[in-house]
Structure 1
Amino acid sequence: MAKPNKKGPTKTVDIFCKSCDTALFKYRKGGKGALVKCFKERIVDDFTTTPCYCPKCEKEFARDTLVRGTPAYKFIGGKVWFK
């Protein structure tokens, strides 16, 4: 499998916690599909203190994993939203 493009898209989205609406990431997302995973190299701003946990409500919103050999966060369904 091919690795994701390092430069990636220029369009950024803000990712928020679903339960408390706290900002988690500013992310360079490609395409118009659902938000399933987040490649670490595409994160522009990281507002979390502990990886995969919301800084305000302390709930887990993702799991640390490898996708196509690249470090990424895989989101748990219904825990985050983006705009």
Structure 2
Amino acid sequence: MAKPNPKGPVRTVNIYCAKCKTPLFKYRKGGKGALVKCFKERIVEDHTHTPCTCPNCEVVFARDTLIRGAPAFKMIGGKVTMK
């Protein structure tokens, strides 16, 4: 299977917790669709202390998984927002 391009897209988005609006990631996202997954190699800034958990309200917003052989976070619907 093909791995995602590690350099990836140039456009960055900020990802926030939907419940308390705490910043979680700055991520290089490709395309214009909804945020379904975050490849770990494309995360520019990580504001979380424990993986997949909001540092402020302790809500679990994603699951740790492998997608196409690359480590990624699979987002839970409605738990995160992006700008």
If the TM-score is normalised by the length of the shorter chain, which range does it land in?
over 0.9
Please state how far the C-alpha of 1:5 moved relative to its aligned partner: 0.4
Please state how far the C-alpha of 1:2 moved relative to its aligned partner: 1.1
| Structure 1 spans left out of the alignment, 5+ residues | none
Could you tell me which residue of structure 2 aligns to residue 14 of structure 1? 14
Q: What TM-score do the two structures reach when normalised by structure 2? A: 0.99
Please state how far the C-alpha of 1:70 moved relative to its aligned partner: 0.2
Secondary structure of 1:20's counterpart equals coil
Could you tell me which residue of structure 2 aligns to residue 4 of structure 1? 4
| Structure 2 spans left out of the alignment, 5+ residues | none
Q: Could you list the runs of 4 or more consecutive aligned residues of structure 1 that deviate by over 3 angstroms after TM superposition?
A: none
Q: In the aligned structure 2, how far is the partner of 1:32 from the partner of 1:59? A: 26
Q: What TM-score do the two structures reach when normalised by structure 1? A: 0.99
Q: In the aligned structure 1, how far is the partner of 2:34 from the partner of 2:5? A: 18
Q: In the aligned structure 2, how far is the partner of 1:17 from the partner of 1:34? A: 15
Question: How much is the aligned-residue C-alpha RMSD, in angstroms?
Answer: 0.4
Q: In the aligned structure 1, how far is the partner of 2:24 from the partner of 2:14? A: 8
